[in-house]
Amino acid sequence: DTAVSQTPKYLVTQMGNDKSIKCEQNLGHDTMYWYKQDSKKFLKIMFSYNNKELIINETVPNRFSPKSPDKAHLNLHINSLELGDSAVYFCASSQELLLSYNEQFFGPGTRLTVL
Amino acid sequence: GQQLNQSPQSMFIQEGEDVSMNCTSSSIFNTWLWYKQDPGEGPVLLIALYKAGELTSNGRLTAQFGITRKDSFLNISASIPSDVGIYFCAGFNSGGSNYKLTFGKGTLLTVNP
């Protein structure tokens, strides 16, 4: 039933480690996104993929590498984790990016804590 | 980049009261949106506004797209405890290197029963 799912829900790890967060959507959407929500609840887009092609990269450090094996999945891999990477990461999906807005459906989030 | 100023940052109200929050931008948007985020969940779209001056309702919620295209407000009437959460405004533009949502910093709403 779940439209946009993310795993894991919680991730606690040490500085310097490499970790991945997985996202899957069963809505048949063409576009997927990753957002970061900081401790002050500010939401900011990181990446957007349309049919497995990178559309938006909001000057995110290259330690963050999104990977889209197919249009239903957009995983986020983070290398050499830093304290400042601690945040809640949201995956979202929508119909194909067009001239008008298509509703984005958000996953439940992954709370990443870097110690 | 584009920035949205959302106010108030937080509100504490009694059940049954009406609530108003607004968002202003330094630049215009083609679409204004209002989202609600419950604790431990992702944001959920409440209302989307596509035309300047548009006034749209969704149950007890009413939102308007400002004439200048640089602002929007959200009203909630007769609040109930389940209205608790963080409300975000967001603006969307398309074309060029856009096609992205820009979010306000949120309004935390607490409703006392």
Q: A-chain residues within 8 Å CB-CB of B99?
A: 48, 55-56, 97
Report H helices in B1-113.
Answer: none
Do B99 and A4 lie within an 8 Å CB cutoff?
no
- pLDDT one digit per residue (tens) for chain A, 115 residues: 679 999 999 999 999 999 999 999 999 999 999 999 999 999 999 988 888 788 877 778 999 999 999 989 999 999 999 999 999 999 999 987 666 778 899 999 999 999 9
Share the mean pLDDT of chain B: 92
CA A58 centroid distance within chain: 12
Do A90 and B30 lie within an 8 Å CB cutoff?
no
Question: What is the predicted pLDDT for the residue at B100?
Answer: 78
Question: What is the predicted pLDDT for the residue at A8?
Answer: 97
Sheet containing B4-7: order of strands: B4-7, B19-25, B71-76, B61-65, B55-58
Which of B44, B86, B94 is facing A100, going by the closest CB pair? B94
Q: A-chain residues within 8 Å CB-CB of B72?
A: none
Question: What is the predicted pLDDT for the residue at A72?
Answer: 94
